[in-house]
Structure 1
Amino acid sequence: MLIASYNKEQLGDVLLTVVAPDAATQSCEKKGDIVRIFDVESGQTTGYNFFNASKIISGLETKKGQIFLDNGQVDALNEALKENGFSSELVVDAKPKFVVGYVEKSEEHPDSDHLHVTSIKVDDGHLQIVCGAPNIEQGQNVVIAKVGAMMPDGTLIFPGKLRGIDSFGMVCSARELQLPNAPQKRGIMVLNADDYPVGSAFDFDKAAHLFQTEA
């Protein structure tokens, strides 16, 4: 997992990276212009903050929000980690995090009157996802935010439990995806299977017209 974000207006010249879910108890250590965040109990790194990031990698001037780092940028960040005395390395994660999935199964949650436990076919297998949308049904093509995705509002998608059932991702509504003119109501977005085949990366630009209103 490698999630990166940058917002100079809000945070200054700082690149934030996340490599693992937040731990219950975290601490940090600073070496030079890099801060490592880690799980106190296990010692596992959960992220790095790179200060004066534009001196390490180029192309940040026009960025705001999530950034998809290429191999060269990750190599430069790893070199900075090494120069500052950190032993671990970042790994490029180029797999799409928003994909088209197919609802193969949807069953009522055993401990909820509104949640459903679903099995979703995606690009690299199947995901169990607990979903609270009232309109989810077997046989739908839907948008899946996989573990490691950053939602448009900045929310990160990690594995979780809902009422005791494991969930590995999120079935998205058009509102949550912040598509133009998206309906401001509950309910997942159901896709046309011919236009959005199962396993493909979800194309935000292509979907931007879905809720256009005629002039």
Structure 2
Amino acid sequence: MLIASYNPKQTGDILVVILDEDAKEQKVEQIGNVVRISDSENGHVTGFNFTNASEVLPRLKDVNGEVTLTQEDLDALNKSLSDNGIKDTIELDTDPKFVVGYVKSVKEHPKSDHLKITETEINDGKTLQIVSGSPNMQEDIKVVVAKVGAMMPDGLIIWPGELKGEESNGMICSGRELLIPNAPQRPGALILPNDYQEVGEAFDFDKADTLFSK
């Protein structure tokens, strides 16, 4: 997992790099120009904060929000870690986090009158159990799935979780949540045309700009 965010107006010249969920008990160390965050119990690194980040990655001066890190970026960040005496390294994650999914089955949530439990295919026959509150949820539709590790446009990060006791690994998104132009401003899964994209493909946000063309 690799999520990076840079919001200079809110947090200053700091690049936040998230590698995993926060541990119950965290160890936070300031080591030179880097803050190393790890699990206090087992030492597993869950993230880094790079201060003076635009000096390490000059291109950040034109960025605000989520940052898609390239291998070149990681080379520079890993050099910064090494220069500060930190032996950890950050690895590139090329797995797309927003993909076209196919809702294979839907059943009622036993503890809710509005939630549905879906089995949703994401690629190569792999399915995820995703609990959804979308009022238009149904079987046999193509949707956009935000997988675990995705950062939504509003900054929300998708983690594994439970909704009223039922496991949920991902999120079936609405056009509104994805900030697609002219999308209806109401709850409801974005249902894609059957011939839009293949199941498992990375969702094409550029192509989606015309989904709700007036």
Question: Which TM-score bucket, shorter chain as reference?
Answer: over 0.9
Which deviates the most, 38-47 or 161-170? 38-47
Give deviations 1:159-185, integer Å, cap 9, x for gaps. Answer: 111111211100000111111122111
Task: Give 2:187's aligned residue.
Answer: 186
Residues 30-109 of structure 1: matches in 2 within 5 Å? 30-109=30-109
Task: Give 2:146's aligned residue.
Answer: 145
Task: Give the secondary-structure state (helix, strand or coil) at the position aligned to 2:61.
Answer: coil
Q: State how far apart, in whole Å, the 2-side matches of 1:25 and 1:112 are.
A: 32
Task: Give the secondary-structure state (helix, strand or coil) at the position aligned to 2:82.
Answer: helix
Q: State how far apart, in whole Å, the 1-side matches of 2:117 and 2:39 are.
A: 30
Q: State how far apart, in whole Å, the 1-side matches of 2:176 and 2:24 are.
A: 30
Q: State how far apart, in whole Å, the 1-side matches of 2:157 and 2:55 are.
A: 27
Task: Give the secondary-structure state (helix, strand or coil) at the position aligned to 1:128.
Answer: strand
Q: State how far apart, in whole Å, the 1-side matches of 2:115 and 2:24 are.
A: 26
Q: State how far apart, in whole Å, the 2-side matches of 1:112 and 1:41 are.
A: 36
Q: CA RMSD in A?
A: 1.3
Q: State how far apart, in whole Å, the 2-side matches of 1:85 and 1:109 are.
A: 50
Which deviates the most, 116-125 or 10-19? 116-125
Give deviations 1:69-113, integer Å, cap 9, x for gaps. Answer: 111111211121122122221110111111000001111112222
Q: State how far apart, in whole Å, the 1-side matches of 2:202 and 2:194 are.
A: 13
- Segments of 5+ residues of structure 2 without an aligned counterpart are none
Letter in 1 for 2:71: N
| Identity percentage of aligned residues | 51
TM-score, normalised via structure 1 length: 0.94
Report the Cα offset of residue 25 of structure 1: 2.9
Q: State how far apart, in whole Å, the 1-side matches of 2:145 and 2:171 are.
A: 6
Task: Give 1:13's aligned residue.
Answer: 13
Task: Give the secondary-structure state (helix, strand or coil) at the position aligned to 2:129.
Answer: strand
TM-score, normalised via structure 2 length: 0.94
Number of aligned positions between the proteins: 213
Q: State how far apart, in whole Å, the 2-side matches of 1:87 and 1:118 are.
A: 42
Letter in 1 for 2:70: D
Task: Give 2:159's aligned residue.
Answer: 158
- Segments of 5+ residues of structure 1 without an aligned counterpart are none
Task: Give the secondary-structure state (helix, strand or coil) at the position aligned to 2:59.
Answer: coil
Task: Give the secondary-structure state (helix, strand or coil) at the position aligned to 1:61.
Answer: helix
Task: Give the secondary-structure state (helix, strand or coil) at the position aligned to 1:37.
Answer: strand
Q: State how far apart, in whole Å, the 1-side matches of 2:123 and 2:30 are.
A: 39
Letter in 1 for 2:46: T
Which deviates the most, 67-76 or 80-89? 80-89
